[in-house]
C-alpha cells in the first residue's frame, strides 16, 4: 500500500512566553485508505501536530512527506496549492464563510483550484452535498444552518477537490451525540466506500475504537 502522509523526526518548540518543547520526535505513516485517529490529553500537542501536518504551520524541525514528496521548506505559494488540492481540513468549530451560501462555500476551494468549469464545479458540489444528505440546504446562507449541518458542509468542502487526505481536529467535539455519530458514520463511509485516507483527532474513545488505528499521544510524544 502506498503511503499518503509521513512524518519524520518532527520537533516543535514554542519560544514564547517561555521555551517549550511541544512536539518531541514525532514519527508515523498513514497509508492510503487508512482511517487513523489521534488521542491524548488536552494540551499534549495534538492540534499543534495537525497544523504542521496540514502545512499551515511551517515553523518546525524534521521532514514531512505528502504522497512521498518532501513538502518541508516548500514555498508558501506551493504549500497553498498543496492544501488546496491534496488536503481537506475539518475544524472543531464549523468554519464557513458566513455570508456565502452553503453551495458557494463548498465550491470555493474548487474555484481556487480552477481545474474545472463553473458548471462542473457546481455539479460536483451538489454531488457532495447529496452524499451528505444536505443538498436541500444548498442555497441557504451558511450562517442560517445548525451546527451539525455546518459540520457536514465543512466535510463537503474538504472533499470537493478529491484530496489525498482529510484531517479533522476534534470535528465532533462541539456536536451532540446524535450529530457526532452522524459525522463519524460519514467518515467511516468515505473510508470504506471511497478509500479515502483520514486522520482525525478526537477525545471520544468510542469514536476512536472504531477507526483502523489509534495514535496515542502524551506530552508531545507518540506512545503507540
Partner 1 sequence: MANWSVILNIAKTHLLTKIKQTSTAALGVTFGIGAYITLVCFMTGLNGMLDDLILNQTPHIHVYNEIEPSKKQPISLYDNVNESFNVVHSIKPKLSQKKIHNALPIIKYLEENKVVRCALPQIKTQIFYIAGSIELGGNLTGINAIDEASLFNMGDYIVEGSAEALQNTDNGILLGIGIAKKMSLKVGDRVQISPINGGVFPLKIVGFYQSGIADLDAIQSFTNIKTVQRILGEANNYITDINVKLYDIDQAVSLSKKIERQFNLTALDIKTANAQFETGTTIRNLITYAVSITLLIVAGFGIYNILNMLIYEKMNDIAILKATGFSGKDVQLIFMSQAMIIGFVGGLLGLLIGYGLVSLIDTIPFQTEALPTVETYPINMNPLFFVIGFSFAMFSTFLAGYLPSKKAKKIDPVKIIRGQ
Ligand X SMILES: Nc1ncnc2c1ncn2[C@@H]1O[C@H](COP(=O)(O)OP(=O)(O)O)[C@@H](O)[C@H]1O
83 sits near partner 1 (criterion: CB under 8 A) = yes
| Partner residues linked to 201 by β-bridges | 38, 169
Say what the alpha-carbon torsion angle 202, 78, 66, 112 is, to the nearest 10 degrees.
60
Candidates 14, 28, 65, 93; binder of partner 1 (CB under 8 A) is: 93
CA pair distance 64, 39, nearest whole angstrom:
21
Q: What does each C-alpha distance from 145 to 3, 5, 43, 152 come to in angstroms?
A: 37, 34, 31, 11
95 sits near partner 1 (criterion: CB under 8 A) = yes
Give which of Mg ion, partner 1, ligand X, none residue 126 binds (C-beta under 5 to 8 Å, depending on kind). none
Q: 62 or 173, CB closer to partner 1?
A: 173
In whole angstroms, the minimum distance from the beta carbon of 203 to ligand X comes to 9
Q: 110 or 211, CB closer to partner 1?
A: 110
Q: 47 or 67, CB closer to Mg ion?
A: 47
174 sits near Mg ion (criterion: CB under 5 A) = no
In whole angstroms, the minimum distance from the beta carbon of 75 to Mg ion comes to 28
Please, which residues have CB within 8 angstroms of residue 182's CB and are 6 or more apart in sequence? 148, 152
Backbone angles phi, psi at 167, to 5 degrees: -115, 145
101 sits near Mg ion (criterion: CB under 5 A) = no
The answer to whether residues 20 and 197 touch, using CB atoms and an 8 Å cutoff, is no
Q: 48 or 54, CB closer to ligand X?
A: 48
The answer to whether residues 123 and 75 touch, using CB atoms and an 8 Å cutoff, is no
List interacting residues with partner 1 (CB under 8 A). Answer: 47, 51, 54, 56-57, 76-77, 80-85, 89, 91-93, 95-100, 108-109, 111-114, 157, 161
Amino acid at each position: 500500500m502506498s503511503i499518503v502522509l509521513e512524518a519524520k523526526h518532527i520537533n516543535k518548540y514554542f519560544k514564547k512566553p517561555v521555551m517549550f518543547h511541544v512536539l518531541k520526535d514525532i514519527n508515523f505513516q498513514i497509508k492510503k485508505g487508512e482511517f487513523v485517529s489521534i488521542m491524548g490529553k488536552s494540551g499534549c500537542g495534538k492540534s499543534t501536530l495537525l497544523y504542521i501536518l496540514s502545512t499551515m504551520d511551517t515553523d518546525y524541525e524534521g521532514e514531512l512527506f505528502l504522497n512521498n514528496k518532501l513538502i518541508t521548506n516548500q514555498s508558501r505559494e506551493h504549500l497553498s496549492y498543496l492544501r488546496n488540492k491534496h488536503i481537506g481540513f475539518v475544524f472543531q468549530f464549523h468554519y464557513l464563510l458566513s455570508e456565502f451560501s452553503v453551495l458557494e462555500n463548498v465550491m470555493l476551494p474548487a474555484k481556487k483550484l480552477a481545474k474545472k468549469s463553473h458548471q462542473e464545479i457546481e455539479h460536483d458540489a451538489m454531488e457532495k452535498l447529496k452524499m451528505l444528505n444536505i443538498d436541500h440546504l444548498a442555497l441557504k446562507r451558511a450562517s442560517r444552518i445548525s451546527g451539525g449541518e455546518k459540520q457536514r458542509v465543512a466535510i463537503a468542502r474538504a472533499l470537493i477537490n478529491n484530496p489525498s487526505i482529510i484531517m479533522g481536529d476534534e470535528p465532533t467535539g462541539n456536536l451532540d451525540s446524535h450529530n457526532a455519530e452522524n459525522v463519524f458514520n460519514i467518515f467511516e463511509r468515505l473510508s470504506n466506500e471511497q478509500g479515502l485516507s483520514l486522520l482525525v483527532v478526537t477525545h471520544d474513545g468510542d469514536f476512536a475504537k472504531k477507526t483502523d488505528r489509534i495514535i496515542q499521544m502524551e506530552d508531545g510524544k507518540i506512545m503507540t
